[in-house]
Amino acid sequence: MDGRQNTETRFQGLAVSPGSAAGRVCLFRQAVHEDIPEYRVSGEAKEQERERLRDAMTKVAERLESLKQTVRDRLGPAEAEIFSVQRMILEDPALADQFMAAIDEGRNAEIAVQRTLETYERRLLELESAYHSERAGDIGELKRRLLGELCETTSAFICASEPYCQRGRHRVVVTEELTPALALELDAEDVLGLVTDRGGVTSHAAILARALGIPAVSGIPHVHDLVACGTEVLVNGDTGEVVIWPSAATVERFQAKAPAVPRGPVPPVEALAVMANISLAEEADIARRHLAEGVGLYRTEMEFFAAARLLDEDEQADRYRHVLRAMDGLPATFRLLDLGGDKPSPLFDFPDEENPSLGLRGLRYLLTRPHLLATQARALARASQDGPVRVMYPMVTSLAQFRRARALFDEATAGMAAGRIEHGPMFEVPSAVLEAPALLAEADFASIGSNDLLQYLFVVDRNNEHVADDYCPDQPVFWQVLRDLVRAAAEAGRPLAICGEMAADPQYLGRLIDIGIETVSVSVRLIPGVRRAVGNSNQGRDTS
Interaction partner, residue 500 (ligand PEP, Mg ion, none; CB < 5-8 Å by kind): ligand PEP
Q: Across-strand partners of 17?
A: 216
Q: Which residue is catalytic, options 204, 224, 322, 423?
A: 204
* H or E element at residue 459: none
The stretch near Mg ion (CB under 5 A) out of 172-180, 292-300, 444-452, 491-499 is 444-452
Contact pattern from residue 399 through residue 438 relative to Mg ion, giving x for each residue in contact according to CB under 5 A and a dash for the rest = -----------------------------x----------
Burial class (CB within 10 angstroms; exposed 0-12, middle 13-18, buried 19+) of 40: exposed
* Closest by Cα among 293, 307, 364 to 527: 293
- Please report, for the chain, how many H helices and E strands are present, in that order: 21, 17
Is 8 in contact with 250 (CB distance < 8 Å)?
yes
Q: What share of the chain is helix, strand, coil (3-state, %, to 5)?
A: 50, 15, 35
Nearer to Mg ion, 144 or 361 (CB): 361
**Nearest approach, Cβ of residue 392 and ligand PEP (Å):** 10
Contact pattern from residue 514 through residue 543 relative to Mg ion, giving x for each residue in contact according to CB under 5 A and a dash for the rest = ------------------------------
**Nearest approach, Cβ of residue 423 and Mg ion (Å):** 18
Nearer to ligand PEP, 159 or 372 (CB): 372
Interaction partner, residue 279 (ligand PEP, Mg ion, none; CB < 5-8 Å by kind): none
- Catalytic annotation present for 204: yes
AA identity, residue 212: L
**Nearest approach, Cβ of residue 348 and ligand PEP (Å):** 16
Q: Which residue is catalytic, options 26, 159, 229, 499?
A: 499
Per CB under 5 A, does 501 bind Mg ion?
A: no
Nearer to ligand PEP, 201 or 212 (CB): 201
Interaction partner, residue 450 (ligand PEP, Mg ion, none; CB < 5-8 Å by kind): ligand PEP
Interaction partner, residue 145 (Mg ion, ligand PEP, none; CB < 5-8 Å by kind): none
Nearer to ligand PEP, 114 or 450 (CB): 450
Distance in angstroms (rounded) separating the CA atoms of residues 32 and 119? 17
**Nearest approach, Cβ of residue 511 and ligand PEP (Å):** 17
Interaction partner, residue 293 (ligand PEP, Mg ion, none; CB < 5-8 Å by kind): none
Q: Could you list the residues that contact ligand PEP (CB under 6 A)?
A: 297, 299, 338, 428, 449-452, 499-500
Nearer to ligand PEP, 266 or 297 (CB): 297
The stretch near Mg ion (CB under 5 A) out of 110-118, 206-214, 446-454, 458-466 is 446-454
Task: For residue 544, give Cα distances in angstroms to 118, 483, 502, 512.
Answer: 56, 10, 20, 12
* Closest by Cα among 450, 442, 409 to 296: 450
* H or E element at residue 189: none
Distance in angstroms (rounded) separating the CA atoms of residues 29 and 174? 9
Interaction partner, residue 188 (Mg ion, ligand PEP, none; CB < 5-8 Å by kind): none
**Nearest approach, Cβ of residue 408 and ligand PEP (Å):** 21
What number of other Cβ atoms are within 10 A of residue 272's Cβ?
Answer: 21
E-strand spans in 419-512?
421-427, 446-448, 496-498
**Nearest approach, Cβ of residue 40 and Mg ion (Å):** 53
* Closest by Cα among 226, 180, 173, 218 to 465: 218
Interaction partner, residue 340 (Mg ion, ligand PEP, none; CB < 5-8 Å by kind): none
**Nearest approach, Cβ of residue 452 and Mg ion (Å):** 4
Distance in angstroms (rounded) separating the CA atoms of residues 27 and 226? 10
Interaction partner, residue 326 (Mg ion, ligand PEP, none; CB < 5-8 Å by kind): none
The stretch near Mg ion (CB under 5 A) out of 74-82, 101-109, 445-453, 464-472 is 445-453
Q: What are the two backbone dihedrals, phi and then psi, of residue 416, each rounded to the nearest 5 degrees?
A: -80, 150
Burial class (CB within 10 angstroms; exposed 0-12, middle 13-18, buried 19+) of 160: middle
* Closest by Cα among 133, 61, 134 to 92: 61
**Nearest approach, Cβ of residue 363 and Mg ion (Å):** 11
Q: Which of 134, 386, 452, 501 binds Mg ion (CB under 5 A)?
A: 452
Q: Which of 213, 449, 473, 529 binds Mg ion (CB under 5 A)?
A: 449
Nearer to ligand PEP, 98 or 398 (CB): 398
**Nearest approach, Cβ of residue 462 and Mg ion (Å):** 9
Q: What are the two backbone dihedrals, phi and then psi, of residue 398, each rounded to the nearest 5 degrees?
A: -160, 165
| Angle of the 77-90 helix axis to the 44-74 helix axis, nearest 10 | 170
- 3 state SS of 334: strand
Distance in angstroms (rounded) separating the CA atoms of residues 285 and 288? 5
> What single string gives the DSSP state of each residue in 87-98?
HHHHT-HHHHHH
Nearer to ligand PEP, 305 or 320 (CB): 305
Nearer to Mg ion, 110 or 428 (CB): 428
- As annotated, the active-site residues are 204, 499
Binding residues for Mg ion, rule: CB under 5 A, are 428, 449, 452
